[in-house]
Amino acid sequence: MVRLPLTVDELQRGQRLGVALRHARGERPLLETALAAGISPETLRKIESGRVATPSFPTIAAVATVVGLSLDELWADVCEAERPGERSSAS
């Protein structure tokens, strides 16, 4: 199966997701958070930096649970950040 390249919107959404998870992690060490979520620290680092723009749902759900963020809150954060950019690009 050939995977199509990600669109600019998908890449930006991945960056916003990473920022939201990094913010929710706060002062908690990356290593501790990653291990508690059952993923590698490198995977979490890539997600938080936006280098993995489309992480799997179970991975995001595990990290969100560890940092105390509901998936609804996380999605709202990602989408809320998306709306102002859409308005400014349409102007």
* pLDDT tens per residue, range 26-85: 999 999 999 999 999 999 999 999 999 999 999 999 999 999 999 999 999 898 766 655
pLDDT at 86 over 60: no
- Is the separation of the CB atoms in 6 and 53 below 8 Å? yes
Find how far residue 25's CA is from the centre of its chain. Answer: 11
| Structural domains present in the chain | 8-90 (1.10.260.40)
Q: Give residue 4's identity as a one-letter amino acid code.
A: L
DSSP 91: -
Q: What is the pTM of this model?
A: 0.83
Q: Exposed/middle/buried for 63, CB within 10 Å: 0-12, 13-18, 19+? A: buried
CA nearest to 4, candidates 56, 46, 77, 53: 53
pLDDT at 91 over 60: no
- Which residues, in sequence order, are CB contacts of 14 under 8 Å at separation 6+? 6, 50, 52, 53, 54, 55
